[in-house]
Structure formats: structure tokens, C-alpha cells
Chain A
Amino acid sequence: MALFYLEQALNGLQFGVLLFLMAAGLTLVFGIMNLINLAHGSLYMLGAYFAATMLTATGSMLLALLAATLATALCGWLLEVVLFGRLYRRDHLDQVLCTFGVILFLNELVRIIWGPVALPMDLPPVLAGSVRLVGDFTYPTFRLVIIAVGLVVAAMMFVLITRTRLGMRIRAGAADRAMVAALGVDIRSLYSYVFALGAALAGLAGYMAGPILAVQVGMGDSVLVLALVVIVIGGIGSVRGALVAALLVGLVDTFGRVLLPAALADMGIYTVMAAVLFVRPDGLFAARG
């Protein structure tokens, strides 16, 4: 019985770090640029497609990883320069509408390029098996890799934001944009970097989700909603909040599915979110006070 809970806890953790990778980019973009980017899920989808294509072509997980992160970062950068840069000063409704237009466009573009059928993404033998953890308890290797990568990325994000000059600018930008610009920081290029960084993380999430879930059109739309839930619970603009909330959502969702009746399981995290917003409208770790 204890092993059952251990397995579910690991599943929840793995789901949680995937959500964190999605939410980290989203929360930075919202915290600094004040932009609601519904198309963030489409970047995740692109990452998965780039990875699946590269993996099929070369058979190398490493090259697939590079394709997923770098190509998705490039797509994100392109979107920022062409469209999103115009949206920062618009109101939330315009942002919701325009980024929704981007979702329609990218979903259809992917359907044209890769077709409507889900792509296979087969793991190489090294990652496809299971690892024995305690006694007879085994757990899929790749899922353990996901957890490890997610936690490493979280640590790197923490270092980046608290220990580097770029991170300092990101924090300053979230606190007071006008002042940062007045002090001579090139705010436009800072925005582009942050956006590309968020896109790379979404691509990484897509790359790791590919072998577990199906690589198909619209795969990002449901994940996006979960990532939004995470950043709302965690507090908009706070990467630390995103990590805590992502793990919380991952665990609540996973345990909800095994412990609650089916009709309530899917509602669990939304109930948590409504409760958090009701008590603390700014989320658990409100970045802007």
C-alpha cells in the first residue's frame, strides 16, 4: 500500500515538474511584460513536434532535445518580435483575443505540416525500461529523468533569477518597468530574451511530454489551462510560486484521480484554485505585493 502511494507521489511529482516548465515561462512573461499569452501551449506543442521529427530523423534524444528547445525558442522570439511586442500596452481582452488567434493559426499550421495523425515518439532502449527503486518496486526510467531534469531546471532558474545580472533585470522589470527603462536597460531586448527563455522551457516540456502523452494537434490547449491555474495559484510573476503551485497541482491532480470518484477527480485542482483565489486573490507568493 505504501508503495502504491510512493508510485502515485512520483507520478504527481513528474506531472508537477512538467507543469512547472510550462508555468515558469508563462509567469515570467505575465509578471514582466504584463501579457496573457494563451499561445504558450502552442509553443509546447511545437516543442513536442520538433522533438518527434528530430528523433525520427536521427534517432538521437540529445539532438531532439536541442531541436525542441532551440527551435521553439526561435519561434517564441519570432512571435514576440512580430506580434506580442504590440500587445504589451493593450488591455487583457485584446491579449486574450490575439493570442487565441495565434492558437488557431499554429494548430492549423501543425496540422498542415505534420498531418492530423498523432506522431509516435519512441524512446531509445536506455530510457525505455524501468529502474528498481526499493525492493521490488520499479519505476519507468524516463519518468525519473523528467523529475530530475525538472528539478535541475528549477534550480537553474533560481540561480539565474537571484544570482545573475539578467535575473536582476528580470526582477527589477517585474517590480517597476518604467524605472528600469529609465535607468538605461534596453527593455525591448530584455523582453525578447525572457520570451525566448519561456518558449525554450515550454519546448523542453513538450519534448519530455512527447513520449508519455500523444504528440498531436491541440495537445497544448489543455496543458495551457493547467499552467494558467498554476501561475494563478502560485502568484503571477513569481517563479518560486510557480514551482510550489506546480508540484501542488501535480500531486492534487494525481491523487485526486486515484482517491476520488471519477466525476470529482478532474475538478479537484480547479476547486483548489477557486479556494486559493477566494482567500488570497493575488496567489500564494504574490510577486508584486
Chain B
Amino acid sequence: MRTLTSRGGVAWRRRVVFVLVFALLIAVPIVAGALGQPFYIRLFTRIMILGLAAISLDLLLGYGGMVSLGHAAFVGVGAYSVGILAYHADNGGRLFGLFGGSDAAWIVWPVAVAVGGFAAFVVGLVSLRTRGFSFIMITLAFAQMIYYFFVSWQTYGGDDGLQMMSRNRPIADFTNVQFYWLVLVCLLLATLLVDRVIGSRFGMVLRGARQNDRRMRAIGVPVYRYRLAAFTLAGAIAAFSGVLLANSETFVSPATMSWLRSAELIVMVVMGGMGTVHGGIIGAAVYSLLELILGNYTEHWQIIFGPFFILVVLFARRGFLSLVLGESREG
């Protein structure tokens, strides 16, 4: 197995990239402050939040070999959990006549993550029975179900989305810079968590099942249950990125979970390099910066990005990181 090389040069270079990525992220507010360009703080806050969602998707895509075309739905579930609870905290009333609202982070955030994880568990329960094309389609179908559910839920704004009064307590009065640091800490912790999971026995089973499903079964490993656990964990982390997104924009909208968003997340993971954990951050940064740079030349930036991305997939499948790392851990 390829993991033997993790003791060699690849692991070392990987660690260098990891440190570099976070060193750059630490430098952003300092440089932006010095240059008087607060815009970059907002931009990189968004990049980190997208990166967090991409990392959770990489757990499925790069390590588990599960091509989920509905991952943005779980981001949306996390964001809506925050939005709906904040709505009831501001306006009174109860969700389903049962649950009162709250805008306290230590209540809302764990609830949102749990709801996201539970949604992923249910979706995974059904869709993981299938593989290949059917799996792609059934995750897409579930994501569309969740999408339309929120589009047609008029109480919470429907198509127009839901505006929040403020961020959750106790970070309601955070400046953008303070919020940036908070997101950075969250991202670092989540990255370390995913890295630990990948390196654990659990991660080994997941990767083994990706490489040879039948052999893992023959050994006696309940592959389905491992995949379901990974799917649930990825959904919970995606929901957490949704929590941060809702707090960042104080606005939630069904547009967050359209299937095109799910496809964009896959694009980010692939551009950053599948099966590299922090590749998700790099992919999100490359995507957002390309959007910004190309968008400066023309509002029709996607006409350049589309073909460019096709070329990346056709000829540099392992992502930009592979140029630095030599080869991906998952080969």
C-alpha cells in the first residue's frame, strides 16, 4: 500500500505545505490591515469556510471514493439551523411548535452540527447501498429534496432566504478581523481532526475499501458501516461550515445548496488535489481567486474558467498540490 511512503519525502513535503497554508492564512489579516484593504479579510474568511466544506467532501471523495453530488445540502442544513433558531429568538414562536429559538453559539452550533450529521446519516443510510453512477444520482436527488424543502418553506423566507439580525452570541459584536481569527482556529482544528481520522485505523479501513472493496469485505470488515460513519462525519463538518457561513453573512439562502454548488465543491477538491486534506483549502482559494482575478477582466469569467477547468481535469488530475508534492498519498 501507498501509505508506506508516508514515512518518506512525500509526508515531509506535505507537512511543509500544511504549515505554509496556515502561515499564509495567519498573514492575511496582518497584511490586509497594513495595506488598508479590509476586503481581503472578507474574501479569505469566505475561502476558509468553503475550504472547510471542501475538506469534509475530500474525506468522502479522496479517501472514501464516494462521489457525492449533494454535499452542499449539508452546508445549507447547518446554515439554516442557525438561521431558523435565530429567527425564533428574534420573533418568538416555535419551530414545529416544539423548539424555541436561540442565538447563543454554545447551544446553536452543536445543534446545527448534530442536525447536519443526522441528515447525512439518513441520506447515507439509503444512498450508500448503491455505488457508482447510482450513488452520484441518489446523493443529487436527496440534495435536491432538501433544497426544494427550504425553497418552499415560506415561513423562513423560501426562495428569498432568511436575514439574521446579528451573529450568534457571544460573537455578535465581533469585528470582521476577530471573526476571521475565529474561523481560522475552527479550520485548523477541523483540519487536524480530519487528518487524525485519515491516519487512524478507521481511515485505513476507509482507504482500503476505496482501493479494493471486495477484499475488505472478504477480510470481514463491515464496509457499509464504515462508509456510513464517514458520510455522517463529513455531513457534520459540512454543516459546521454552514454555521460559520451563516454567521459570516448573517444571511442564509437556498442558493447555498443548489446542485451547482455541490459541483463547485467537487471542483475545489479536485483542483486542490484529492486525498490531501488541506488541498480543500488550496482548491477553495484557487477557485475564489480565479473568480476574483478573471472577474476583474470580464464579468463573463466562467467562459474562461470552464475550459480551463476541463483542461485541469484532463491533464492535471491530481491537482495543483501534486506539482509540489510529487504524488498524492492515495495514488
A residues with a Cβ closer than 8 A to B are 30, 36, 38, 83, 86, 92-94, 96-98, 100-109, 111-112, 221, 225, 228-229, 232, 236, 262-263, 265-267, 270-271, 273-274, 277-278, 281-282
- B136-149 vs A, Cβ < 8 Å mask (1 yes, 0 no): 11101110110011
Please determine whether B260 and A86 come into contact, CB atoms closer than 8 angstroms. Answer: no
Q: Could you tell me the distance between the alpha carbons of A125 and B151 in the complex, rounded to whole angstroms? A: 36
Is B133 positioned at the interface, with any CB of A under 8 Å from its CB? Answer: yes
Please determine whether B136 and A102 come into contact, CB atoms closer than 8 angstroms. Answer: no
Partner among A93, A107, A229, A265 whose Cβ is within 8 Å of the Cβ of B302: A107
Please determine whether B141 and A104 come into contact, CB atoms closer than 8 angstroms. Answer: no
Given the known inter-chain contacts A30-B133, A94-B313, A104-B305, please indicate yes or no for A277 contacting B152, CB distance below 8 A: no
Please determine whether A228 and B137 come into contact, CB atoms closer than 8 angstroms. Answer: yes
Please determine whether A267 and B145 come into contact, CB atoms closer than 8 angstroms. Answer: yes
Number of A-B contacts (CB under 8 A): 120
23 contacting pairs across A/B (C-beta < 8 A): A38-B263, A93-B67, A93-B270, A94-B313, A94-B317, A97-B267, A97-B309, A97-B310, A97-B313, A100-B263, A101-B307, A106-B306, A108-B302, A111-B300, A225-B144, A225-B259, A263-B149, A266-B148, A267-B145, A273-B137, A273-B138, A274-B126, A278-B129
Given the known inter-chain contacts A83-B310, A92-B136, A236-B133, please indicate yes or no for A97 contacting B152, CB distance below 8 A: no
B residues with a Cβ closer than 8 A to A are 61, 67, 69, 126, 129-130, 132-134, 136-138, 140-142, 144-145, 148-149, 151-154, 259-260, 263, 266-267, 270, 300-303, 305-307, 309-310, 313-314, 317
Partner among B129, B145, B306, B313 whose Cβ is within 8 Å of the Cβ of A270: B145
Partner among B138, B263, B267, B310 whose Cβ is within 8 Å of the Cβ of A274: B138
Q: Could you tell me the distance between the alpha carbons of A228 and B135 in the complex, rounded to whole angstroms? A: 12
Q: Could you tell me the distance between the alpha carbons of A93 and B154 in the complex, rounded to whole angstroms? A: 35
Instruction: Give 3 closest A-B pairs by Cβ, nearest first.
Output: A105-B306, A266-B148, A104-B306
Please determine whether A281 and B145 come into contact, CB atoms closer than 8 angstroms. Answer: no
Q: Could you tell me the distance between the alpha carbons of A94 and B310 in the complex, rounded to whole angstroms? A: 9
- Report the minimal beta-carbon distance from B104 to chain A, rounded to whole angstroms: 28
Among B61, B129, B306, residue most surrounded by chain A Cβ atoms (within 10 Å): B306
Contacts of A111 in B (CB 8 A): 300
Contacts of B134 in A (CB 8 A): 232, 277, 281-282
Contacts of A86 in B (CB 8 A): 314
Partner among B137, B149, B270, B307 whose Cβ is within 8 Å of the Cβ of A267: B149
Please determine whether B313 and A98 come into contact, CB atoms closer than 8 angstroms. Answer: yes
- Report the minimal beta-carbon distance from B300 to chain A, rounded to whole angstroms: 5
Q: Could you tell me the distance between the alpha carbons of A97 and B310 in the complex, rounded to whole angstroms? A: 7
Partner among B137, B300, B310 whose Cβ is within 8 Å of the Cβ of A98: B310
Contacts of B132 in A (CB 8 A): 92
Please determine whether A228 and B140 come into contact, CB atoms closer than 8 angstroms. Answer: yes
Contacts of A97 in B (CB 8 A): 263, 266-267, 270, 309-310, 313
Contacts of A94 in B (CB 8 A): 313-314, 317
Partner among A83, A92, A274 whose Cβ is within 8 Å of the Cβ of B133: A92
Q: Could you tell me the distance between the alpha carbons of A1 and B309 in the complex, rounded to whole angstroms? A: 53
Contacts of A281 in B (CB 8 A): 129-130, 134
Among B133, B141, B145, B309, residue most surrounded by chain A Cβ atoms (within 10 Å): B141
Partner among B69, B144, B307 whose Cβ is within 8 Å of the Cβ of A105: B307
Please determine whether B137 and A232 come into contact, CB atoms closer than 8 angstroms. Answer: yes
- Report the minimal beta-carbon distance from A99 to chain B, rounded to whole angstroms: 9
Q: Could you tell me the distance between the alpha carbons of A276 and B249 in the complex, rounded to whole angstroms? A: 39
Please determine whether A221 and B142 come into contact, CB atoms closer than 8 angstroms. Answer: no
Please determine whether B142 and A265 come into contact, CB atoms closer than 8 angstroms. Answer: no
Closest to A30 in B: B133
Q: Could you tell me the distance between the alpha carbons of A273 and B138 in the complex, rounded to whole angstroms? A: 8
Known: A101-B307, A263-B152, A281-B130. 14 other contacts (CB 8 A): A96-B136, A97-B263, A100-B263, A101-B309, A105-B310, A225-B144, A232-B138, A267-B148, A267-B149, A273-B137, A274-B126, A274-B141, A277-B130, A277-B137
Closest to A226 in B: B144
Among B61, B145, B149, B151, residue most surrounded by chain A Cβ atoms (within 10 Å): B145
Please determine whether A266 and B306 come into contact, CB atoms closer than 8 angstroms. Answer: no
